[in-house]
Amino acid sequence: MYRLAGGWTPCPPLLDTLSAPSFQKELEKQIEQGAKRIVFDCSDLEYVSSAGLRSTLIIAQKAKAAEGRLVCCCLRGLVKKVFEISKFSEIVPTFDSLDEALK
């Protein structure tokens, strides 16, 4: 899930070509409405494909453009591995727990 300065929105357990676009649109809307700090809680995220990664990148970019930022936390399993291999953490900072991410 990701948390805005304000509300929660659930993140699907699967972020792939099918689910990524609607997820991306939702977050873009939130940014337009003024969300600045987005925390991407990946505790439920089981799998992410390259399309999902791309959507995340786009959101990170848009957040940055709106003078906010996107961070991730609670990555596990395959997703964690993917993020490490692709060095995603350099674009989207990752944390181990929600508390740390909120700081």
Partner 1 sequence: MLDWFRSSIQAKVMMVVLLATTLVLAFVLGVTGIFSRSFIVLDAESDALRVASMVGGRIANELSSIAMATRNLAYSLETGNWDRKSIDNLLIAVVQRNRDIFGSTVSFAPFEFDPTIKAYAPYFYKGRNGLVSVQLADSYDYFERDWFRKPFEEKSPVWSAPYFDEGGGETLMITYSCPFFGQGAGGEPDTVRGVITADVSLDRLTEMVSEIKLEKTGYAFLLSNKGVLMVWPQKELIMRETIFSLAEGGKDPHLKTIAFEIMNQEKGFHNAGESLNGKDSFLAFASLPTFGWRLGVVIPKDELFAQTYLLERILFIIGFAGIVLLLTSSLIVARSVTAPLKRMVSVTSKIGEGNFDVDFVEKNRLDEVGQLSRAFESMVNSLKKYMKDLTQATARKERIESELRIAADIQKSMLRTSFPAFPDRDDFDIYAMMRPAKEVGGDFFDFFLLDSEHLCISVGDVSGKGTPAALFMAVTKYLIEASVGVETPIDKTLEKVNALLFKNNDSCMFVTVFLGILNLKTGELIYANAGHNSPLIWTENKEVQLLEAVGGPILGIFDPADFRTGTTTLNPQGHLLVYTDGVTEAFNSEGREFSEEKLMEIVRLIGRQDAKSITEMVLEQIDQFRNDVEQSDDITIMVLNYTPRT
Enumerate the H helices of the chain as residue ranges.
20-32, 50-65, 77-85, 98-102
List the interface residues with partner 1, window 45-74 (CB under 8 A).
49-51, 53-54, 57-58, 61
Interface with partner 1 includes 28 (CB under 8 A)?
no
The C-alpha atoms of residue 40 and residue 10 are separated, in whole angstroms, by: 10
Residue 73 beta carbon to partner 1: minimum distance, rounded to whole angstroms: 20
* Residue number with CB closer to partner 1 (22 or 86): 86
* Residue number with CB closer to partner 1 (9 or 49): 49
Are 40 and 77 in contact by the 8 Å Cβ rule? The answer is: no
